[in-house]
Amino acid sequence: MARVYNFSAGPAVLPEEVLKEAAAEMLDYQGSGMSVMEMSHRSKVYDDIIKTAEADLRELMGIPENYEVLFLQGGAWTQFSAIPMNLMKNGVADYIVTGQWAKKAWQEAQKYGKANKIASSEDETFSYIPDCSDLPIDDDADYVYICENNTIYGTKFWTLPNTKGKDLVADVSSCFLSEPVDVSKYAVIYGGVQKNIGPAGVTIVIIRKDLIRDDLADYVPTLLKYKTQADAQSLFNTPPCYGIYICGKVFKWLKANGGLSAMKQRNEEKAKILYDFLDSSSLFKGTVRKEDRSLMNVPFITGDADLDAKFVAESKAAGFENLKGHRSVGGMRASIYNAMPKAGVEKLVDFMSEFEKKAGK
Ligand SMILES: *Cc1c(COP(=O)(O)O)cnc(C)c1O
């Protein structure tokens, strides 16, 4: 068995221990005589799986009692619609557009009300986070929306925006569980799990309970009402059972490895190895303003498209997978999520250093 170093932005690398455990339980989950894939979501066994997953997530993130945790389907994209449909009371929301995902969320929200773009970094290809200390927040805004870690561009909000008292909604798909978080600063935290937590197919929504309402527009689909999902504890219809089970295993793995503070420290160490190299390299350079750099997604370029392509091909042959940058940015991108071992980043930097020498730079 040869496992590669997988730098994919998502679906992405998962902890090897988790995969092995899941493999061992594949045919017979804890004496049930069946795989978790085969069992009823109404069974006692499965109820334990989903309840334990929620309890562990609550413990890891310190989620207060007045927040609901929902395990849903449909990806982050479905939330681009669900959020405005559920949260718009005045029909107004403010969006901070720091990348393609925030932009798509903003465009989707325009179907349901007035969605203001109150700040953007599109003028410089989303390579920085705009100053959000004094934005023109709409008096009627029902919420302010951010994409906290910009997967494609490699930027991260290290300071949350000043929302002037308005509720903050954050897409954390690509930084979920990468560091400790003060949940009480947010009204909604949500993300697809396929970046930093588990297999594609599960979307986690953490929402303050007072925002869960029943007085929504008639057109809102039953399944997209947070009320439906919250009342049924994510079991209104069939949830993504197997995916939730794997997420639960990752939560246990995180707990066993010191929780989110330890994860942040590991992630800082890994990112530093790569950023320090980029800052000293004569060939490669990072594309993001230093103070806004993500710990999870690290885009870089050589400045020569042919050389970039050569690097992607040669790195792949050497066992470093998925380093090609997003099609909208080009160059390279190394996603170094929680489950990427430090050795993977060290070996990547060694490889880049060799490549640089061979390129005569
Ligand atoms: C990948 C990604 C999305 C899109 O997620 P889907 O689950 O494919 O809908 C949205 N936001 C961010 C920040 C992402 O990284």
Render 307-349 in DSSP notation, one character per residue.
Answer: HHHHHHHHHHHTTEE--BPPTTT-SEEEE--TTS-HHHHHHHH
* Distance in Å, CA 173 to ligand 1 centroid: 6
Reported for 52-60, long-range contacts at CB under 8 A and 24+ positions apart, including other chains, are 52/248, 53/244, 53/245, 53/247, 53/248, 53/251, 56/248, 56/251, 56/252, 56/255, 57/204, 57/247, 57/251, 59/255, 60/177, 60/251, 60/254, 60/255, 60/259, 60/260
Contact 197 CB / ligand 1 (< 6 Å):
no
Angle formed at CA 242 by CA 239 and CA 243, multiple of 5 degrees: 80
Angle formed at CA 197 by CA 18 and CA 185, multiple of 5 degrees: 140
- Can you count the helices (H) and strands (E) in the chain? 9, 14
So what's the pLDDT on residue 328? Answer: 80
Mean pLDDT over 142-164 rounds to: 98
pLDDT digits (tens, 9 = 90+) for 76-117: 999 999 999 999 999 999 999 999 999 999 999 999 999 999
**Alpha-carbon distance 173 to 188, whole Å?**
13
Residue bearing the CA closest to ligand 1, atom 2: 173
* Distance in Å, CA 298 to ligand 1 centroid: 17
**Alpha-carbon distance 177 to 120, whole Å?**
26
* Distance in Å, CA 89 to ligand 1 centroid: 25
- Residues making up the chain, counted from first to last: 361
- Say whether pLDDT at 2 is over 90: no
Q: How confident is the model at residue 151 (pLDDT cuts 50, 70, 90)?
A: very high
**Alpha-carbon distance 104 to 110, whole Å?**
10
Sign, CA dihedral 54-59-61-62, equals positive
**Alpha-carbon distance 330 to 333, whole Å?**
9
- Say whether pLDDT at 324 is over 90: yes
Query: 199 versus 359: which is more confidently predicted?
Result: 199
- Say whether pLDDT at 267 is over 70: yes
- Say whether pLDDT at 1 is over 90: no
* Average pLDDT of the chain, as a whole number: 97
CA distances in angstroms from 260 to 81, 136, 161, 254, listed in the order given: 30, 34, 22, 7
So what's the pLDDT on residue 82? Answer: 98
What is the CB-side half-sphere exposure of residue 153 using CA atoms within 13 A?
26
User: What are the residue numbers of the active site?
Assistant: 101, 171, 195
Mean pLDDT over 340-354 rounds to: 98
Could you identify the atom of ligand 1 that is nearest to the CA of residue 192? 7
Question: Which stretch of DSSP H or E encloses residue 56?
Answer: helix 44-61
So what's the pLDDT on residue 360? Answer: 81
* Distance in Å, CA 361 to ligand 1 centroid: 37
Could you identify the atom of ligand 1 that is nearest to the CA of residue 148? 13
- Say whether pLDDT at 178 is over 90: yes
Residue bearing the CA closest to ligand 1, atom 7: 75
Contact 173 CB / ligand 1 (< 6 Å):
yes
- Say whether pLDDT at 167 is over 80: yes
Token pair, residue 70, equals 């929902």
- Ligand 1: residue of 80, 96, 101 to mutate (most ligand atoms within 8 A of CB) is 101
- Say whether pLDDT at 300 is over 70: yes
So what's the pLDDT on residue 348? Answer: 98
Mean pLDDT over 48-70 rounds to: 98
pTM of the model: 0.98
At 190 the three-state DSSP class reads strand
Question: Which stretch of DSSP H or E encloses residue 71?
Answer: strand 67-72
Mean pLDDT over 179-194 rounds to: 98
Residue bearing the CA closest to ligand 1, atom 8: 75
So what's the pLDDT on residue 157? Answer: 98
Which amino acid is present at 95?
Answer: Y
- Residue (of 336, 303, 298, 334) closest to 155 by Cα position: 298
